[in-house]
A and B are shown apart, each in its own frame.
Chain A
Amino acid sequence: MKIALAGNPNSGKTTLFNALTGSNQYVGNWPGVTVEKKEGKLKENPKVIVQDLPGVYSLSPYSPEERIARNYLIQEHPDVILNIVDASNLERNLYLSTQLAELGIPMVIALNMMDVIENRNETIDVDALSNNLGIPVIEMSASKNKGTKEAAAAALKAALHQPVNCRVQFDPAIEEAIKKIESMIIEPVFKRWKAIRLLENDEYILERQNLSSEQLNHLEKVQKELEQKFDDEPEGIIADQRYSFIEKNLQNVYKKKKGFHLTISDKIDRIVTNRFLAIPIFMAVMAVVYYLSLNLVGTPATDFVNDVIVGEWLQGGMTSFFESVHASEPVISLVVDGIIGGLGAPFGFLPQMVMMFLCLSFLEDCGYMSRIAFIMDRIFRKLGLSGKSFISFMISTGCGIPGIMAARTIENEKERRMTMIVTTSMPCSAKLPIIAMIAGAISGVSASWQIAWATYMFGIVAIIISALVLRHTRWFAGETAPFIMELPSYHWPKVMNVLRQTWERCLHFIKKAGTILFACCVVTWFLSTYGITSQGLQMVDIQDSLLAKIGSSIAFLFAPLGWGNWQAAAASLSGFVAKEQIVSTMGVLVNVADDTGEVPELWSAIMVMFPNFLAAFSFLVFNLLDAPCLAAVSTLFKEMNSSKWSWMALGWQMFFAWSMALIVYQLGSLLFYGTFGIWTMIAVVILIIYIARMVKPYTDRKTASKNLVEAGA
């Protein structure tokens, strides 16, 4: 048996889901989209599957979440819908209930947050509500664990016995229209629901109903009549009717407190979203998140896992064990570097991930996350991003992997995808040695805070350019997400929710990203330690490895960037294992041992790879902006949940890095050395295309909505 859990965002759905299923949960993604999917088994009866649907305000066909919810309901046909309704926000929550009720699936309403209603000295007559709607209503305070068992029991009972009896009724003229349309539908399932959708011109349903042209004319006639009578289009009339129905049916049910009063939440918002204080407070909150996840826990714990647990204990221990039994070198290398190194990699990222998810779950659960979107929207919407993208970018300055995962908190799918594509342009901590090395090589002095600062600025500029250009490609053009968002009341997060969410997300990362990462690590280990020699395939130094061979075969691609030699190409390739690897690879290639990028001998030695400082700089630009390390790429593939989107993201990152390096090198050469050639022209063309794309954006949308206003007026 299947129970579908449906409700508005912030209605307490997660708390109820956790209470019902306990630890029997599976968290994944809905197929093909980046929307989280949760499924569990009922604690008391493991035969009952509880399916958590995405939190939605409506079953309209417009957002991916809404489409997922409605497709699940009509295609999977759950045995019962358990609809969570936030009693402290009754009218808007019941709006979704009126749509769910139309489906004709047995349904129970769990009226959550009854404790809030009591505290406000308000009353809701539950029996009267139940009677008005024709749906059983169970009182609940999920956060206090009151009524959750009763809600589940009522749902099970309804699934078995409830005669479907929807009392959501509209104006007689509309009911008559619905009857007329119902007569055109042959299948009896979801008849009323389909009829109302057809009335609303829902394209998804129109396509599937195969109406004859005669029927379509009839439908149009019915719609026209209603439009004239109600002076609105059908979609508007129906929304209007739903809210009127709710208002009418709450009159004898809900006793509100009269007059205006400030809630605690309002008082908090007076400060937190205050004109002058909002941005400083936001910056302070971000600083705390950054400090907790990257400084306090992230880097030290990650270094500890990587260097001590994996490096010293596991790898060191295994090496001495193998040496003591005189194992052959390839075996030691495979087990120690390939397998342990590969398996250890995802775990190295875990500590900072745990801390970051704890912070994010807290911010999400308490209600501050939506304030971030509110405060920062003005800046980010021009880039096709969400205010919440800022969190991803900030985390990415430490590590791109938690940065990509932080994008989970963004509701809109396009904004989420865009954030994941551009966020790794921020220089992560593993890129700092490369910056130090190239900056040292160019300037001859040790890299200092100025260079670090300049690189962050560069990262921000790169994100802006990348996002503005992408915004106008056909992947991101089209319907822009309307920013019409609820600011939920603040409340203390439930510890169990925060912990569980963190646990699920980390586990998911280990299971999904970890397996891809492991495979990638073993493959790159093989490529970088094996080479073809006169004796066949053998273990060799990195400069003779297959990786170097691949490097030299693709080196021609980098010739226009000023560094078409195999060493620089091979070093860039080695960066996909981990970005700091670029420095040690270059060190090996010029015989200077270094992995910090701070050794002066290395600086002068690597300059032989570059004809001039511009080439060295273009090398840096490329390696800062190109696709991130394999660990981050695995995460990207997992989070995008679509190989098409992932490959597109990688393709764009590579092309963007290449083109930016090209522009830097070619235009720089023109400026400093007066060189001009076919590549200079190509660089100019790309630059012009980028600028044209960047300038074009926002104007057409503005004029489009102006036209709408004028057309409507």
Chain B
Amino acid sequence: MLTLKDLKPGTNAKVLRIHGNGALKRRIMDMGMIRNTEFSVRKAAPLGDPVEIHVRGYELTIRKNEGQLIEVETINA
């Protein structure tokens, strides 16, 4: 399963499914990461984690650990 955690900076991708439940899943979805949402990975923080993504016209940061819950597929921009 490919997740957000595995994506390199510069990749464009699409959300397939948000795993997990409760607060974490809800928070991810509240921020606009839902099925079929397209986003791009901007960069990783200087110490490698968290990562910054561009989604719905704004910048969102998320830890790789939490990124594991976001199943994705890469797309061509």
Chain A positions 202 through 241: 1 when the CB is less than 8 Å from some CB of chain B, otherwise 0 = 0000000000000000000000000000001101100110
When distances are taken between beta carbons in the complex, the residues of chain B under 8 Å from A377 are 45, 49-50, 63
Closest chain-A Cβ to B59's Cβ sits at a distance in Å of 4
Known: A91-B56, A709-B20. A482 touches B47 (CB 8 A): no
Q: Are A712 and B43 in contact (CB under 8 A)?
A: no
Q: A60-B26, A709-B69 are in contact. Are A240 and B47 (CB under 8 A)?
A: no
Distance between Cα atoms of A613 and B3 in the complex (Å):
57
Are B35 and A240 neighbours in the complex by a CB distance under 8 Å?
yes
Nearest Cβ on chain B to A244's Cβ, whole angstroms: 8
Residues of B within 8 A of A37 (CB): none
Question: With A377-B50, A702-B65 known to touch, is A486 a contact of B23 (CB < 8 Å)?
Answer: no
Instruction: Tell me which residues from 484 to 522 in chain A have a Cβ below 8 Å from any Cβ of chain B.
Output: 484-489
A276 interface residue per 8 A CB criterion: yes
Collect the chain B residues with CB atoms within 8 Å of residue A192's CB. Answer: none
B-contact 0/1 string along A456-496, CB 8 Å cutoff: 00000000000000000000000100111111110000000
A236 with B19: CB separation less than 8 A: no
CB closest chain-A residue, reference B34: A240
Interface residue? B13 (CB, 8 A): no
Chain A residues 666-704 with CB under 8 Å of chain B are: 702
A484 contact from B27, B47, B58, B59, Cβ within 8 A? B27
Set A89, A92, A482, A705: member contacting B23, Cβ < 8 A: A482
Query: Which residues of the other chain, A, contact B26 by a CB distance below 8 angstroms?
Result: 58, 60, 62, 235, 239
Residues of chain A contacted by B37 (CB below 8 angstroms): 243
In A243-283, which residues have CB < 8 Å from any B CB? 243, 256, 260, 265, 269, 273-276, 278-279
Instruction: Evaluate contact between B62 and A92: CB separation under 8 angstroms.
Output: no
Question: Given the complex, which residues of B lie within 8 Å of A279, measured CB to CB?
Answer: 46
Which one of B1, B29, B31, B68 lies within 8 Å of A705 (CB-CB)?
B68
Q: Quick check: B35 and A484 within 8 Å, CB to CB?
A: no
Which B residues touch A236, using CB under 8 A? 18, 25, 29, 34
In the complex, chain A residues whose CB is within 8 Å of the CB of B34: 236, 239-240, 243
Which of B18, B46, B47 has the largest count of A CB atoms less than 10 A from its CB? Answer: B46
B58/A92 in contact, CB under 8 A: yes
Q: Please, what's the 1-or-0 string for B14-25, where 1 marks a CB less than 8 Å from any CB in chain A? A: 000111111111
Residues of A contacting B59 in the complex (Cβ-Cβ under 8 angstroms)? 265, 269, 486-489
Contact of A381 among B27, B48, B63 (CB under 8 A): B63
A300 to chain B, nearest CB (A): 35
In B37-77, which residues have CB < 8 Å from any A CB?
Answer: 37, 43-50, 52, 56-63, 65-66, 68-69, 77
B20 touches A708 (CB 8 A): yes
**Contact status of A273 and B52, CB under 8 A, knowing A58-B30, A91-B32, A702-B65:** yes
* Shortest Cβ distance from residue A41 to the other chain B in the assembled complex, whole angstroms: 32
Most chain B C-beta atoms within 10 Å of own C-beta, residue among A256, A702, A709: A709
CB pair A378 B69 closer than 8 Å: no
Contacts of A454 in B (CB 8 A): none
A89:B47 contact, CB within 8 angstroms: no
Asked if A375 is at the interface of the complex by the 8 Å CB criterion, the answer is yes
Contact present for B30 and A485 (CB under 8 Å): no
For B25, what are the chain A residues with a Cβ–Cβ distance below 8 Å? 235-236
Q: Is A331 an interface residue (CB 8 A)?
A: no
Asked, given contacts A379-B47, A709-B68, whether A484 binds B61 with beta carbons under 8 Å apart, the answer is yes
> Does B28 sit at the interface, judged by CB under 8 A?
yes
Assess whether A304 is interfacial by the CB under 8 Å rule: no
Cβ B52 vs Cβ A374 within 8 A? yes
Q: What's the nearest-Cβ distance from chain B to residue A345, in Å?
A: 41
Say yes or no: A487-B60 contact (C-beta < 8 A), given A235-B26, A243-B34.
Answer: yes
CA distance A106 to B1 in the complex (A): 45
Complex: chain B residue closest to A233, CB-CB: B21
A235, A274, A485 — which one has the most chain B CB atoms within 10 A of its CB? A485
Q: Closest residue to B3 on the A side, CB-wise?
A: A709
In the complex, the chain B residue whose C-beta lies closest to that of A370 is B61
For residue A57, CB closer than 8 A to chain B, the reply is yes
Is A88 an interface position by the 8 A CB rule?
A: yes
Spell out B's residues near A (CB within 8 Å).
Answer: 1, 3, 17-32, 34-35, 37, 43-50, 52, 56-63, 65-66, 68-69, 77
What are some 9 contacts across the A-B interface (CB < 8 A)?
A: A60-B26, A88-B57, A92-B58, A232-B17, A260-B77, A377-B49, A379-B47, A482-B27, A485-B60
Q: Which 8 A-B pairs have the closest CB atoms?
A: A712-B19, A239-B29, A378-B47, A58-B30, A487-B59, A62-B23, A278-B46, A708-B20
Given A486-B31, A712-B20, 8 other A-B contacts at CB below 8 A?
A62-B22, A89-B57, A275-B46, A378-B47, A484-B31, A484-B60, A484-B61, A484-B66
